[in-house]
Amino acid sequence: MRNRDRKIFGVFLAITLILATGVTLSARSTSKENKGAMEITKEEFGHTPDGRTVNLYTLKNANGMTVKITNYGGIVTELMVPDGSGRLGDIVLGFDNLKEYLAGDPYFGALIGRYGNRIAKGKFTLDGKAYSLATNNNGNHLHGGIKGYDKVVWSASEVRSPEGVGLKLNYLSKDGEEGYPGNLNITVVYLLTPMNELKIDYAATADRPTPVNLTHHSYFNLAGAGKGTILDHEVMLNADAYTVVDASLIPTGEIRKVSGTPFDFTKPKTIGAEISKVEGGYDHNFVLTRKAYGLQMAARVYDPTSARLMEVWTTEPGLQFYTGNFLDGSIKGKCGLVYPKNGGFCLEAQHYPDSPNHPEFPSTILNPGATYRQQTVYRFDIKK
């Protein structure tokens, strides 16, 4: 996607977001229909080592669905969703307190940037200049580096709109941070709707050309966080191809059709059905089958034990499907529950990994005067 296409895409996406959300980012009273039905509360969650106060915001709708988000890393710490019997259960992996998040974790529930996924050897060239990023994953750059957006304190304000309640987060990523060029001004809005949707809207501007690839990194277990593995979950991915990777999970440049391979989720199948045929498990970018710009369904996941159903809709061209391969039972999460291998899955809407080094991939370069926009929606229901 070159600059002209990116500008056209930006116009289409801006219109899509306005039509799809109708969100006013400045907090105001809820509509008469929602009054009393949607709630947002705030409490102190702890302090960073340098003394900064971190808060926890609780969003709740009339159905009882509850989302807890902290402005440290924009982390979704809890997501309570009803099952087929109407019982609420927490379906995201995480911790009970800030101290445990500060100690380090595999990006549970966090906002990711400046570049989600991997950049080979932390190096790329832009406008003839070579850049070296922080390397934090087998010599590669992963999820923004040593201190990505998952480890910073975002400024936060409450959002109330006719569509629901939410949290608006802002962060200024300064020129040179983790090696990236340019100051990047980012706004992310989480919104909980009465229809049991968690919407995430991203926007960013830069004063120098820079790669940008923002995403969200919740680990889901629709049976309930800490309740076994996700291998029996049934998954459908709206993708007929994926980006092939090498042993260090860096794209080779090949885009391969999923037909006839273990990567074919075009029809629902369990995660465990063919995972043994994929070395290390699924941790791959799927090329979404898109017919136009705008919000389209990317994935559907169903857990037969709880009857919970989750859909992922996005404006992005790719979706990273990760099956918790690096979890090993050593992490104790909420309520002391152990998170085993394959204890959660991630569906990260994104541009392709290592795109700055692959001109054949859709471009991730944001230029001054343009606005990065993205929307991803997680929709929850039960299968009757």
For the annotated catalytic residues, the residue numbers are 217, 348
CA distance 271 to 236: 10
What DSSP designation does 213 have?
B
Q: How many CB atoms sit inside 10 A of residue 352's CB? A: 23
Nearest alpha carbon to residue 114 among 351, 376, 379 = 351
Q: Residue 141, Cα to own-chain centre: how many angstroms?
A: 18
Beta carbons within 8 Å of 40's beta carbon, 6+ residues apart = 57, 58, 59, 60, 158, 159, 160, 165, 166, 167
Which string of DSSP letters, residue by residue, matches 248-317?
Answer: TS-EEEEEEE-TTSTT--SS-EEGGGSGGGSTTS-EEEEEE--SSSS-EEEEEEE-TTT-EEEEEEESSS
Sequence length of the chain is: 384
Residue in this structure with the two tokens 């700055």, named with its chain if needed: 356
Beta carbons within 8 Å of 373's beta carbon, 6+ residues apart = 10, 13, 14, 17, 201, 202, 203, 315
